[in-house]
Amino acid sequence: MRSLLIEDDAKSGAYIASSLREIGHVVDHLENGRDGLLQATVGDYDVLIVDRMLPELDGLALVRTLRGARILTPILFLTAMDGVNDRVEGLNAGADDYLAKPFSFAELSARISALARRPCLREEVSVLTVGDLQMDLIRRIVSRAGQPIDLQRREFVLLEHLMRTAGRVQTRTMLLEAVWDIQFDPQTNVVESHVSRLRSKIDRPYGTEMIRTVRGAGYVLQPGGR
């Protein structure tokens, strides 16, 4: 089993890594969140063991970024933050399990084995492509025909949703729920205005339409506007 341990306490990290190797794991150990995030996106791991209080990038942000990039490697938080709210926050961020310090190595080993027995859900897609439009989910870069496109945060989220559902009509209600997390009609033109801004950046400069309005239904993203 290949494990990535992201733990900034050198003594604790050395103990965990050594103990895992004794039971047959291949372990990579990194001590800051930014390096851990990069390694988790490029390495082929069976489980990630992540501390919450990490330098450069905290554990919650690390896990949220991985899940946002659809990297579904099982993640176990191993941390001294042991309150109920801490555990709920960690699991809601995308972790599969949560173990508080101090801990028993036997329990850690058992939890890792349980995660490894789960059906594989890994879908390590980091780049979305529709026609000549590309979105790098890790670096947060969008380009069309090789030309970079600068998007605001909400525009990026909207385009990501449209790219993931390319070829399928997305109603106004669907977009409000997926992009703004709104389960009611706010009686504003927030969807229309953001779609218009997206079109001005990814369609008009290139002469071919990708975001189409389907009258009475919603919007659909298609290569070349077909």
Q: What is the mean pLDDT of the chain?
A: 90
Domains: count for the chain: 2
Query: 90 and 10, same structural domain?
Result: yes
Q: What is the pLDDT of residue 225?
A: 47
CATH number at residue 46: 3.40.50.2300
Last residue of a domain, one of 117, 138, 159: 117
Q: Where are the alpha helices (DSSP H) in the chain?
A: 10-22, 33-42, 59-68, 84-93, 105-117, 153-164, 172-180, 190-202
Q: What is the pLDDT of residue 197?
A: 96
Domain assignment of residue 122, yes or no? no
Mean pLDDT value of segment 57-77: 91
Q: Considering the entire predicted model, what is its pTM?
A: 0.54
Domain assignment of residue 188, yes or no? yes
Tell me the C-alpha distance between 114 and 6, whole Å: 20
Q: Are 59 and 51 in contact (CB under 8 A)?
A: yes
Q: Percentage of the chain with pLDDT > 90? A: 67
At position 41, the amino acid (one-letter code) is: T
Query: 81 and 33, same structural domain?
Result: yes
Q: Are 158 and 215 in contact (CB under 8 A)?
A: no
Mean pLDDT value of segment 209-218: 92
Mean pLDDT value of segment 42-65: 92
Mean pLDDT value of segment 42-51: 90
Question: Which residues neighbour 80 within 8 Å (Cβ) at sequence distance 6 or greater?
Answer: 53, 100, 101
Mean pLDDT value of segment 15-42: 92
Query: 110 and 25, same structural domain?
Result: yes
At position 64, the amino acid (one-letter code) is: R
Tell me the C-alpha distance between 181 and 123, whole Å: 24
DSSP 53: S
Query: 155 and 102, same structural domain?
Result: no
Whether omega before 102 lies within 30 degrees of 0, making that bond cis, reads yes
Mean pLDDT value of segment 38-66: 92
Query: 220 and 132, same structural domain?
Result: yes
- pLDDT tens-digit profile of 109-157? 999 999 887 765 545 568 899 999 999 988 899 999 999 999 999 999 9
Q: Percentage of the chain with pLDDT > 70? A: 96
Last residue of a domain, one of 94, 117, 140: 117
Query: 221 and 170, same structural domain?
Result: yes
Structure tokens at 98: 């949560």
Q: Are 60 and 93 in contact (CB under 8 A)?
A: yes
Tell me the C-alpha distance between 126 and 71, whole Å: 8
CATH number at residue 195: 1.10.10.10
Query: 135 and 85, same structural domain?
Result: no
Q: What is the pLDDT of residue 120?
A: 53
Range of the domain at 155: 127-225
